Amino acid sequence: MHSAPLPVSFYLRDVTQVARDLLGKRLIHNSPGGILTGMITETEAYDGHDDPASHSYPGPKPRNTMMFKEGGILYVYRSYGIHFCANAVTGAEGYGAAVLIRSVEPESGKNVMAANRFGAAGVGKKDAAVISNGPGKVCQAFGIDMSHNGVSLQNGAVNICDSDPVEDAAVGMSERIGITKATDRMWRFYIKGNRYVPKQ
DNA sequence: CCACGGATTGGCT
DNA sequence: GCCAATCCGTGGA
């Protein structure tokens, strides 16, 4: 029931393995509005070497600094000038890989998440499936922004805690969404049939 | 200094 | 299905 944050060693493995194993784990944000938790239902791997789609591909830059830290921290970036996307950094110091959290199934704090997404007046008036079924939506619902870039996932306000593994038969794989490079790699992982996972 | 475009989303045709 | 919104890192002049 009460599970511990995943240890740093969990993240010091191949990024595709971490992306797959993060399915079913619990994302937790002890936010100003209350404790928010949800089960990770969809991820994508971005490698530190030979992956043109990765932000780390051009090498260390001001924006991607956190990707090159040791695994087990959060990398947040602004997408299309409007949204934020959250990643779990993986690999050793200097490697430059991360797992994008694309969708989450809300567990605790659903009303706060709905308020974060739609405003207080929108709570209870929108289809729940649309609260966190995309990377920008996850960050908005969970109240994650650039202030969380680089925070530890073990002992800060944002954690990822252990939970029951998802069996192989329930894991779907596909090419990554929304990219134009290295589209041949099947580095998107999701829980089949989950209503918070789009494009199945 | 300036121009370009993206790991997205939601609204309109 | 198409496309605008909107920021800022990055790269070329």
Q: What is the pLDDT of residues A131-166, one digit of tens each?
A: 999 999 999 999 999 999 999 999 999 999 999 999
Nucleotide with smallest C1' distance to residue A101 CA? B7
CB atoms within 10 A of CB A23: 22
Separation of A41 CA and C11 C1' (Å): 36
Nucleotide with smallest C1' distance to residue A81 CA? C7
Contact call for residues A56 and A64 (beta carbons, < 8 A):
yes
Q: What is the DSSP letter of A148?
A: G
pTM above threshold 0.85: yes
Task: Write b or e for each residue in A140-175: b if 16 or more Cβ atoms lie within 10 A of its Cβ, otherwise e.
Answer: bbbbbeeebbbbebbeebbbbbeeeebeeeebbeee
Q: What is the DSSP letter of A2?
A: -
Beta strand extents in chain A (DSSP E only): 26-31, 34-46, 74-79, 83-90, 97-108, 158-161, 171-174, 188-191
Average pLDDT for A44-62 = 96
Question: Residue A28: what pLDDT?
Answer: 98
Separation of A80 CA and B2 C1' (Å): 19
Question: Residue A3: what pLDDT?
Answer: 86
Band of residue A1 on the pLDDT scale cut at 50, 70, 90: low
Q: What's the one-letter identity of residue A38?
A: G
Q: Is pLDDT of A104 > 70?
A: yes
Query: To the nearest whole percent, how much of chain A has pLDDT over 70?
Result: 99
A63 beta carbon to strand C: under 7 Å: yes
Backbone angles phi, psi at A6, to 5 degrees: -60, 135
What is the token pair recorded at A3?
């599970």
